[in-house]
Structure 1
Amino acid sequence: MTTDAGQVDPLALRVAARGGSKSLGRLSRLVRACIVLVWASSRRLLVVLVALQLLAAAALAGQVVAVRAVLGAILEVQDGSAAAVVLWPVVGLTALSALAAVAAALQTQLQRLLGETVARSMWSKVLAVATGVDLRHFESPEFYNRLSRVQANAVARPFQVTQGLLAMGASVAAGVGLGVTLVAISPVLAPLVVVAGLPLLLTARHESRLEFDFAVRQTPALRLRNYFTMLQTGRDEAKEVRAFGLAPWLGERFQRLYGDYLVDLRRHVLRRAAWSLAGQLGSAVVLGTTLLTLVLLIQRGDIGVAEAGAAIVAVRLLATQVQVLFGGVQAIFESGLFLEDLDQFLTLGRTAVGEDRGVDPPDGFGVLRVEGVRFRYLGSEREALGGVDIELHAGEVVALVGENGSGKTTLAKLLAGLYTPDGGRILWDDRDAADFRPSALRRRVTVVFQDFVAYALTATENIRVGRIDQPADAGRIRAAAAAAGADGFLDSLPDGFDTVLSRLFAGGTDLSGGQWQRMALARSFYRAAPLVVLDEPSAALDPRAEHALFANLREAISDRTALFISHRFSTVRGADRIYVLHEGEVVEHGTHAELMGVDGRYAELFRLQSQLDVTDGAGGP
Structure 2
Amino acid sequence: MRWVVGSAVFVMRLAAAVDRVRLLKAIGLMALGYLATPLVALGLREFTDAAVSGRAGTATLVITGVAVLLVMELMLGHFAHLSYFEVGELAETDLNERLIRTVNGSSGLERLDDSTFADGVNLVREELGKTRTAVESVLQLGGLVLQMSLTTVLLVTLDPRLALLPLAALPSVLLGQRAQGLVERAREATAESTRRTRHLLDLATSPASVKEIRLFHAEPPLMLEQDACWSRTSAALRSAHLRAAGVRALGQLAFALAYGGAITLVIWEAARGRAGAGDVVMVITLAVQVSVQVAGSATLLTALQGVGRTLDRLTSLQDPAPPPPAARADRSGRAAALVGASVPEALAEGIRLEGVGFAYPGTGRMILRDVDLTIPAGASMALVGENGAGKTTLVKLLCGLYRPTSGRILVDGADLAEIPPREWRARVAPLFQDFARFELLLRENVGVGDVARVEEEAAVTRAVGQARADGIVAAVPGGLSGLLGHGYGPGVELSGGQWQTLGLARCMMREDPLLLVLDEPAAALDAAAEHAIFDRYATLSGEAGHRRGAITLFVSHRFTTVRMADMIVVLDGGEVVENGDHRALVSHSGLYSELYHLQERIYR
Using structure 2 for the length normalisation, give the TM-score.
0.90
**Given the superposition, is the C-alpha separation of residues 404 and 256 from structure 1 closer, same or farther in structure 2, using an over 3 Å criterion?**
closer
d(CA) in 2 for partners of 1:354 and 1:466? 32
Kept in 2: contact 1:384–1:407 (CA 8 A): yes
1:113 match: 86
Deviations 1:112-163 (A, max 9, x none): 4333222111111011111222311122211111111111235635853x54
Q: Does 1:608 pair with 2:580?
A: no
User: C-alpha distance in 2, partners of 1:261/1:109?
Assistant: 38
Give the number of aligned pairs. Answer: 582
CA distance in 1, matches of 2:197, 2:220: 15
Farther-moved stretch of structure 1 (447-456 vs 466-475): 466-475
Shift of 1:282: 0.8
Unaligned runs of 5+ in 1: 1-20, 615-621
1:444 shift after superposition:
1.4
Partner secondary structure for residue 527 of structure 1: coil
Q: Which residue matches 2:204?
A: 232
* Counterpart residue number, 1:317: 289
Aligned residues of 1:399 and 1:579 also touching (Cα < 8 A): yes
User: Which residue of structure 2 aligns with residue 538 of structure 1?
Assistant: 522
Distance (whole Å) between structure 2 residues aligned to residue 177 and residue 387 of structure 1: 74
Residues 99 and 465 of structure 1, relative CA distance in 2, 3 Å threshold: same
Output one character per residue of 1:367-392: Cα deviation in whole Å (capped at 9) or x when no partner.
Answer: 22122211112243532111212222
State the 1:398 CA deviation.
1.7
Q: Cα 1:334–1:405, aligned 2, differ >3 Å: closer, same or farther? A: closer
After TM superposition, list the pairs within 5 Å mapping 1:141-540 onto structure 2: 141-153=115-127, 156-157=130-131, 160=134, 162-189=135-162, 191-325=163-297, 327-345=299-317, 347-348=318-319, 351=321, 358-366=340-348, 367-528=350-511, 529-540=513-524
Within the alignment, does 1:566 sit opposite 2:540 as a pair?
Answer: no
| Pairing of 1:559-598 with structure 2 (within 5 A) | 559-560=544-545, 561-598=551-588
What residue number does 1:6 align with?
none
**What is the CA-CA distance between 1:335 and the residue it aligns to?**
4.0
- Report percent identity of matched pairs: 31
Shift of 1:594: 1.6
| Partner of residue 335, structure 2 | none
What is the CA–CA distance in structure 2 between the aligned matches of 1:199 and 1:27, rounded to whole Å? 16
User: Could you say what secondary structure the match of 2:77 adopts?
Assistant: helix
Structural RMSD (CA): 2.5
Identify the match of residue 138 of structure 1 among 106, 112, 130. 112
Give the match's secondary structure for 1:156.
helix
Structure-1 separation of matches of 2:260 and 2:557? 81
Distance 1:50 1:206 in 2: 29
8 Å CA contact retained: 2:187, 2:237: no
- Give CA-to-partner distance per residue, 1:405-446, whole Å, 9 cap, x none: 111111110110000011222111111111101121111111
Letter in 2 for 1:64: A
Task: Structure 2: give runs of 5+ residues left out of the alignment.
Answer: 326-338, 546-550
Task: Please tell me the residue identity of whatever aligns with 2:237.
Answer: L
Q: 1-side partners of 2:232 and 2:375: how far apart?
A: 55
Alignment-derived partner of residue 18 in structure 1: none
Aligned pair in 2 of structure 1 residues 337, 461: CA closer, same or farther (>3 Å)? closer
- Structure 1 residues 119-128 or 550-559, which shifts more? 550-559
Alignment check: 8 A CA contact 1:570 1:606 kept:
no
Q: Deviations over 1:27-84 (max 9, x none)?
A: 755543332122213222321221122101221132122112211221233xxx5x44
C-alpha deviation, 1:94, in angstroms: 0.9
For residues 339-389 of structure 1, the C-alpha deviation after alignment (integer angstroms, 9 at most, x for no partner) is 3223212x32x537999x944312221222122211112243532111212
Task: Using the TM superposition, give the Cα deviation of residue 559 of structure 1 relative to its aligned residue in structure 2, in angstroms.
Answer: 2.7
Q: Provide the C-alpha distance between the structure 2 equivalents of 1:299 and 1:41, rounded to a whole number of angstroms.
A: 56
Corresponding residue SS for 1:126: helix
Offset, 1:107: 4.0
Higher mean C-alpha displacement, 278-287 vs 205-214: 205-214
Distance 1:110 1:257 in 2: 42
1:528-547 alpha-carbon deviations (Å, 9 max, x no partner): 31210111133233343333
1:15 matched to which residue of 2? none
- Answer yes or no: is the 8 Å Cα contact 1:363–1:444 preserved in 2: no
Letter in 1 for 2:225: R
- Per-residue deviation, residues 254-278 of structure 1 (Å, max 9, x unmatched): 3333333333233222211111111
What is the deviation of 1:92? 1.0
Which of residues 62, 67, 83 in structure 2 aligns to 1:94?
Answer: 67
- The letter for the 1-side match of 2:415 is D
**Kindly tell me: are residues 106 and 508 of structure 1, through their superposed partners in 2, closer, same or farther at Cα, counting changes over 3 Å?**
same
Q: How far 1:193 sits from its partner (Å)? A: 1.2
CA shift, 1:204, in A, is 2.6
Change (3 A) 1:544 1:372: same
| Alpha-carbon distance change, 205 to 544 in structure 1, aligned in 2, over 3 angstroms | closer
After TM superposition, the score normalised by the length of structure 1 is 0.87
Contact 1:64 1:181 in 2 (8 A): no
In the aligned structure 2, how far is the partner of 1:486 from the partner of 1:69? 82
Equivalent residue of 1:384, what SS?
strand
